[in-house]
Amino acid sequence: MNILRILLTIFAGLCVLMGLVWIGQGTGVFPYPASSFMIDQSPWILWGALLAAAGLAALWLLRRRQ
């Protein structure tokens, strides 16, 4: 069961990081790669915020249930 908790923690952390990248691309702060369709597109700000919030909630639940 411990390996599952570790894998879920890694997955939740990656969700937070991916959400932050999506927010950065949606706002134009992180324009990489230059040919990305997500740059300066406001819907990706919302999707990134939702993904990062879900990742943070999962991390909180995983830490709480120890």
From CA 18, how far away is CA 38, in angstroms rounded?
13
What pLDDT shows up at residue 58?
Answer: 95
Q: Give the global pTM.
A: 0.86
Tell me the pLDDT band of 1, cut-offs 50, 70 and 90: low
The SS3 call for residue 33 is coil
- Each residue of 11-51: pLDDT tens digit? 999 999 999 999 999 998 988 888 888 888 999 999 999 99
What local confidence, expressed as pLDDT, does residue 30 receive?
Answer: 81
